[in-house]
Homo-oligomer: A and B are copies of this chain.
Amino acid sequence: MTRYAVIMAGGSGERFWPWSRSHLPKQFLNLLGESSLLQQSYERIESLFDPQHILVVTGKEHAALAREQLSNLPQGNLIIEPQGRNTAPCIGLAAMHIRKRDPDATMLVFPADHLVQGRAEFIRCLEKGLQLASTAEVLVTIGIMPTRPETGYGYIEREKTAFPGTPLTFKVRQFVEKPSANIALEYLRAGRYFWNSGIFVWQTDLILNKIEKLLPELHSGLTAIDRHIGADGEQEAMARIFPSLPSISIDHGIMEKSPEILVVQGDFGWDDLGSWAALAACFPKDQHKNVVRGEYVGIDTTNCLVYGQDLLIATLGVQNLVIVQAGNAVLVCSQERSQDIKKLVQSLRDQELDKCL
């Protein structure tokens, strides 16, 4: 059974403003080191998949950037959404493309913009998920062993005992929403809750059948597009039909409503990098608990994330801040408020400061 990988590289990436901009979302930034999150996502799975079997989905504004960053990606393997419609249409569309190439394929789907520190363990989990999904008619997801009572993630509750014959793999009891701080602590202590990583593995046919059953409107739209895939009218059909598809996540539309799901336990230093503070947590701190990139001088400064892209940053007597200069803007934000940066971006939009978006 052929294996395909689908890297979801959509998303507007407002959370890393001012580094991320509408023309340069998070997945295209070198947030971790010298290559972009998308490039790292691609390289991470190259050992598991034939290059012909890696597909990348992104928005039309970012297609050129994706091509530029992924020079190894085969020409026809970039799927371009005319408009972001959340993960269910994205995954359904990718499944249609794959089924056209190979009716019996198994597909891995995952977001381009996450942190994965333990590549070998990550590959082991994917391998396990791919084997399970290719041999059984079952939806498989990777659940991350929580390391803190995180309130920013959805959780997956597993059954108490492992699935027969497959250690560290469990039946899913339920998907649960982002919890309060107290509930998150309970989940951490209970030991039966994983973070929902957004990494899924299944047979292409199976996910399309699920979509047909649970999201019939989406399925009929995808079917209408499917007729044009690989033909002259594909782009026109996409532009006409895709934006009208229901905008819904695969979690809400399929996973939460499906009775039989397996979760593979993953423990590979994962983070969805949802904020500057989350990014700061991924880096080693200096002796004053600061994370610094770019030219910097500081006095009596602790627990700050400092990034100056072009300009020198100097700090004196400050704590717990995110300070970022990128392009034509400077952000100064308290660490604990860094998840609200989208409000600032909205503010820029309201004030029509488009040059800073």
Q: Return A193 CB to nearest CB of chain B, in Å.
A: 30
Residues of A296-337 at the interface with B, using a CB-CB cut-off of 8 Å, are 297, 299-300, 308, 310-318, 321, 323, 325, 328-334, 336-337
Give the dominant DSSP class at A's interface: mixed
In the complex, besides A297-B347, A297-B348, A323-B332, 4 extra interface pairs with C-beta distance below 8 angstroms are A297-B351, A316-B333, A316-B341, A323-B330
Are A337 and B297 closer than 8 Å at their CB atoms? no
Are A316 and B334 closer than 8 Å at their CB atoms? yes
Listed residue (A332, A340, A344, A353) with the most chain B CB atoms within 10 angstroms of its CB: A332
A18 within 8 A of B: yes
CA distance A353 to B300 in the complex (A): 19
Pick the residue among B295, B297, B337 that contacts A300 (CB under 8 A): B337
**A340/B299 contact (C-beta < 8 A), A312-B353, A330-B308, A332-B318 known:** yes
Listed residue (A299, A300, A321) with the most chain B CB atoms within 10 angstroms of its CB: A299
**A314/B330 contact (C-beta < 8 A), A299-B344, A299-B347, A348-B297 known:** yes
Listed residue (A316, A318, A331, A337) with the most chain B CB atoms within 10 angstroms of its CB: A316
- Residue in chain B with minimal CB distance to A310: B328
Contacts of A17 in B (CB 8 A): 314
- Residue in chain B with minimal CB distance to A356: B312
Are B334 and A318 closer than 8 Å at their CB atoms? yes
Q: Return A76 CB to nearest CB of chain B, in Å.
A: 41
Pick the residue among B295, B315, B336, B347 that contacts A332 (CB under 8 A): B315
Can you list 26 contacts pairing A with B, beta carbon distance less than 8 Å?
A297-B344, A297-B347, A299-B340, A299-B343, A299-B347, A311-B328, A311-B330, A312-B328, A312-B348, A313-B330, A314-B330, A314-B331, A314-B332, A314-B344, A314-B347, A315-B332, A316-B331, A316-B332, A316-B338, A316-B340, A316-B343, A317-B334, A318-B333, A323-B330, A325-B330, A330-B330
- Residue in chain B with minimal CB distance to A325: B330
Listed residue (A312, A314, A329) with the most chain B CB atoms within 10 angstroms of its CB: A314
Are B299 and A311 closer than 8 Å at their CB atoms? no
Q: Return A349 CB to nearest CB of chain B, in Å.
A: 10
Q: Return A74 CB to nearest CB of chain B, in Å.
A: 40
- Residue in chain B with minimal CB distance to A306: B332
Contacts of A348 in B (CB 8 A): 297, 312, 314
Are B332 and A313 closer than 8 Å at their CB atoms? yes
Contacts of A334 in B (CB 8 A): 316-318
Are B312 and A330 closer than 8 Å at their CB atoms? yes
CA distance A88 to B214 in the complex (A): 88
Q: Return A91 CB to nearest CB of chain B, in Å.
A: 33
CA distance A337 to B316 in the complex (A): 7
Contacts of A338 in B (CB 8 A): 316
Are A333 and B315 closer than 8 Å at their CB atoms? yes
CA distance A316 to B346 in the complex (A): 13
Are A312 and B329 closer than 8 Å at their CB atoms? yes
- Residue in chain B with minimal CB distance to A312: B329
